[in-house]
A and B are shown apart, each in its own frame.
Chain A
């Protein structure tokens, strides 16, 4: 204040501290503009999100999406028809369906049942012994609902209806292929 050299003062120096001189230039307009725009947006967004609630909260948006999905799933189920042993057996004979099922199997099931279905932590799927039934609809139900107490997760919600059926078809197609190095059979042998 009082200590600024007169010559410096003429050059716009307003303070000097420990030899550091300080000017007092105007705030750049673009900087001020940025500040004002963010403040205005903050006000607008608060009103939109919390005041008038014209934008949905993440949770509300999710609930809406899930409702739409449930409706779509229901419609799809209708076109796919009911699950029965025949439809799954037919699928298991369809090479492209089996390949698609295999893809999902590799991603989700291989860590417990082995990449070739020969078993690991989970049972061998390539023999003819089944812990929860070997009929195609039983296999489907096991995958969909799981036996969580025994360690088999419920995959229906994760895979969706269509993929659950495709994986079921793939597993049905493995039956009796008895891969080398598989785990010893467990459960009831199917007749």
Chain B
């Protein structure tokens, strides 16, 4: 049996074997109203925190330790913007449009409500835990394991509700918006689960099961595709529904939808390593990341084209209507950001831009321009309909548009200038070949005016959002909540459905599989073979397309039209398209032969117990938000920071701490560069040592204490994850940690500082002094052979060196 909906009026008599059934559908728009409200509120929160963290970078006293420092608030800002603001916006758009495109009410109101309240609870728990420093230390995935489990659960509930609605749909054919929703829901689940795999050590602390380069690869496969499948594809689906609705114009091209949809979901997933160009990541993965990013350019622009071309002939309308203004500008910003993305993925461009504010500017062109404007357009169009009234003030919406645009331009341009300036200053050398700006601070203070400009831009944008919140509130107040209704005539056909084998073994599937197998063979062959396989794949593809064109029968539905009528098969194909890229990159890097653990441990012993505790402080304070631990193989980086890092350097790091931004200098080899007292003083008041620094003053660290009773558990967890600690090291963890702390305390005392041996700052100092260095001789973990290339320390004899 197959069904499909038709407009109630004007339907001709049914074909033989087809019954017509009239159905009355009341949409659940209450859930949409709830998600819209949540999105607007969290948009304001996310952007307010955004302005605050921007202020902290320009004006360090805005950091209020311990709860409100940049390192803890920046994750709150990103999580709030992505998951609270855009997340709720996407859910609102999906719930509203899916019901209308399937001509079916949501499958379960209970599941919708569980989804809504579950999601808000997750957001609230994020808002509480992140300022408390409860974090797993992976960007955009900072939430700790109990919250991660809740996210997975709520997401699955959402997915069940969505797919059950698809299952009972009254419109057989699925419109392109639904394709994008399917791809988003499936892929986000996969990404979240794979990246969040961690070993809990306590109710609020866990360590990533991956380490070093593997963790980096998994993290940025996730991070990049969170941008792709959380911020981009669902919003493209939203564009496909709302933009033609608001413009009342036909969508430009169905075949463009097909081509750019499949190209986008297949290619996007490969591009993650472009976040790790010129790092210690294996070269083949970097090259894959770069070339797939370049191939993403056209598929991304396919979405922009279908949006902008739909507005052909409607430009007079765009001038008047704030909704269309937001959509037109939002899609244009999407096009700008998706051109910039491939550009930044070129190894040479990344060399300049990586670790700088250019990347911050790039993501905000997407977040403020694409996500923010698409959200505004959608809300201004939808809220009046949800409340059966007209928008309270078109004028205010227009002013919001111009404020938003001005804000984005100030933001993005100031970050371009800041990023390129700093990137050039880092690499500048004088005629003698030495660094022109050897003091990192100079390259930071040069950006001060740009940091203030960014604050102005962000604030102006936030003012626009405040106007929107007021405008939507007044609209809702003036109207009354109404749920949409539809009369549909459903064709109930007794004709047998097309057998699934005709779809699964259809021409496009067979050709795609052959081409992918031929291309996959590249991994097994040499350069000449690779070239031959590429040409073979090309020849097969061209021939298949030619044959396909010739055999096309315009009277029968094509293969893709058949898939559009089959939600399950469509979802399966999407899963396969998405999984290929992820598997091709992650599986080889997980099974690749690494240096033998025992051999590496002899050369590069794992952290001591105290250093592990210090590392947890480092992660808790979010140091990785401003400091990288990955020196790239460039002369100027080697001059500034030391020998470029290799895979082995971060092998014991669960999670990896390579970072993605250098507001401060790289720390991969900071160990031993300065005395203990330098770190002590620098953490308490950075400016006594580096005048002009914008680092927060961590005044709480000297008095906060480490609970050494839990240290053993942490070392044990690391051993479980594969870090080669001996039983003696695990059992003696507390004693060894306290002994090492006593040595540092004695050294500090000699320099005139009285430190509490249980102080977290002592542990953090131990960690920092260890970075890039073998352990100091007396502190060697028991039973671990150590090669010395250091002069022995002549600190006073430790009082508690009993192990």
A-side residues, CB < 8 A to B, are 1-3, 5, 11-15, 17-28, 31-32, 34-35, 38-39, 41-43, 45-47, 49-53, 57-59, 61-63, 65-66, 69, 72, 104, 107-108, 111-112, 120-121, 147-151, 153, 157-160, 162-163
Task: Provide a sorted-by-A list of 22 A–B residue pairs whose CB atoms are within 8 angstroms.
Answer: A18-B241, A22-B175, A22-B257, A24-B253, A25-B252, A25-B253, A31-B302, A38-B294, A39-B295, A42-B294, A46-B522, A47-B531, A50-B284, A59-B644, A62-B635, A66-B635, A69-B433, A108-B439, A120-B689, A149-B792, A149-B795, A158-B435
Q: Give the interface centre of A17, A31, A38, A147 by most chain B CB atoms within 10 Å.
A: A17
From A13, A51, A162, contact of B526 by CB (8 A): A51
Q: How far is the CA of A174 from the CA of B753 in the complex (A)?
A: 28
Is there contact, CB below 8 Å, between B639 and A45? Answer: no
Whether A50 contacts B283 in the complex (CB less than 8 A), given A31-B305, A58-B278, A149-B792, comes out as: yes
Is there contact, CB below 8 Å, between B690 and A20? Answer: no
Whether A159 contacts B291 in the complex (CB less than 8 A), given A15-B254, A18-B103, A112-B689, comes out as: no
Is there contact, CB below 8 Å, between B100 and A160? Answer: no
B250: nearest chain-A partner, CB-CB: A21
Q: How far is the CA of A32 from the CA of B255 in the complex (A)?
A: 12
A16: nearest chain-B partner, CB-CB: B7
A18: nearest chain-B partner, CB-CB: B100
Is there contact, CB below 8 Å, between A149 and B438? Answer: no
From B6, B526, B528, contact of A2 by CB (8 A): B6
Is there contact, CB below 8 Å, between A42 and B7? Answer: no
- Rounded to whole Å, the gap between the CB of B95 and the closest CB of chain A is 14
Chain A residues, CB < 8 A from B678 = 112, 121, 151
B434 at the A/B interface (Cβ < 8 Å)?
yes
Whether A153 contacts B251 in the complex (CB less than 8 A), given A28-B305, A49-B287, A160-B432, comes out as: no
User: Which residues in window 722-774 of B have CB below 8 A to A?
Assistant: 751
| A-B interface pairs (CB < 8 A), number | 200
User: Which residues in window 669-701 of B have CB below 8 A to A?
Assistant: 672-678, 681, 689-690
Is there contact, CB below 8 Å, between A148 and B791? Answer: yes
Is there contact, CB below 8 Å, between A3 and B790? Answer: no
Whether A69 contacts B291 in the complex (CB less than 8 A), given A18-B101, A25-B309, comes out as: no
Q: How far is the CA of A3 from the CA of B14 in the complex (A)?
A: 12
Interface residues on B, range: 35 or more
Chain B residues, CB < 8 A from A53 = 527
B-side residues, CB < 8 A to A, are 4-7, 10-11, 97, 100-101, 103, 171, 173, 175, 241, 244-245, 250-257, 259, 263, 277-278, 283-284, 286-288, 290-292, 294-295, 297-299, 301-302, 305, 309, 342, 347, 351, 432-435, 437-439, 442, 522, 526-528, 530-531, 534, 557, 561, 632-635, 638-640, 642, 644, 672-678, 681, 689-690, 751, 776, 790-795
- Rounded to whole Å, the gap between the CB of A48 and the closest CB of chain B is 9
Chain A residues, CB < 8 A from B302 = 31
Is there contact, CB below 8 Å, between A163 and B635? Answer: no
- Rounded to whole Å, the gap between the CB of A147 and the closest CB of chain B is 7
Q: How far is the CA of A93 from the CA of B287 in the complex (A)?
A: 54
Chain B residues, CB < 8 A from A43 = 534
Ranked 4 nearest A-B pairs via Cβ:
A151-B675, A51-B527, A62-B633, A35-B298
Is there contact, CB below 8 Å, between A1 and B298? Answer: no
A49: nearest chain-B partner, CB-CB: B287
Whether A27 contacts B438 in the complex (CB less than 8 A), given A66-B635, A153-B673, comes out as: no
From A3, A20, A47, A59, contact of B6 by CB (8 A): A3
Chain A residues, CB < 8 A from B675 = 121, 150-151
- Rounded to whole Å, the gap between the CB of A183 and the closest CB of chain B is 11
- Rounded to whole Å, the gap between the CB of B338 and the closest CB of chain A is 12
Q: How far is the CA of A119 from the CA of B347 in the complex (A)?
A: 43
Is there contact, CB below 8 Å, between B633 and A45? Answer: no
Is there contact, CB below 8 Å, between A47 and B299? Answer: no
Is there contact, CB below 8 Å, between B432 and A24? Answer: no
Q: How far is the CA of A38 from the CA of B302 in the complex (A)?
A: 14
Is there contact, CB below 8 Å, between A23 and B689? Answer: no
Q: Give the interface centre of A41, A53, A158 by most chain B CB atoms within 10 Å.
A: A158
Chain A residues, CB < 8 A from B638 = 62, 66
Q: How far is the CA of A47 from the CA of B676 in the complex (A)?
A: 50
Is there contact, CB below 8 Å, between B254 and A61? Answer: no
Is there contact, CB below 8 Å, between B175 and A15? Answer: yes
Is there contact, CB below 8 Å, between A22 and B251? Answer: yes
Is there contact, CB below 8 Å, between A151 and B676? Answer: yes
Is there contact, CB below 8 Å, between A65 and B635? Answer: yes
Chain A residues, CB < 8 A from B290 = 45
Chain A residues, CB < 8 A from B286 = 58
Chain A residues, CB < 8 A from B283 = 49-50, 57-59
Q: How far is the CA of A59 from the CA of B101 in the complex (A)?
A: 52
Q: Give the interface centre of B4, B7, B295 by most chain A CB atoms within 10 Å.
A: B295
Q: How far is the CA of A129 from the CA of B97 in the complex (A)?
A: 79
- Rounded to whole Å, the gap between the CB of B301 and the closest CB of chain A is 7
Whether A24 contacts B291 in the complex (CB less than 8 A), given A149-B793, A150-B675, comes out as: no
Is there contact, CB below 8 Å, between A21 and B251? Answer: yes
Is there contact, CB below 8 Å, between A45 and B301? Answer: no
Q: How far is the CA of A14 from the CA of B176 in the complex (A)?
A: 13
- Rounded to whole Å, the gap between the CB of B678 and the closest CB of chain A is 5
Is there contact, CB below 8 Å, between B294 and A3? Answer: no
B534: nearest chain-A partner, CB-CB: A43
Is there contact, CB below 8 Å, between B534 and A47? Answer: yes
Q: How far is the CA of A135 from the CA of B526 in the complex (A)?
A: 60
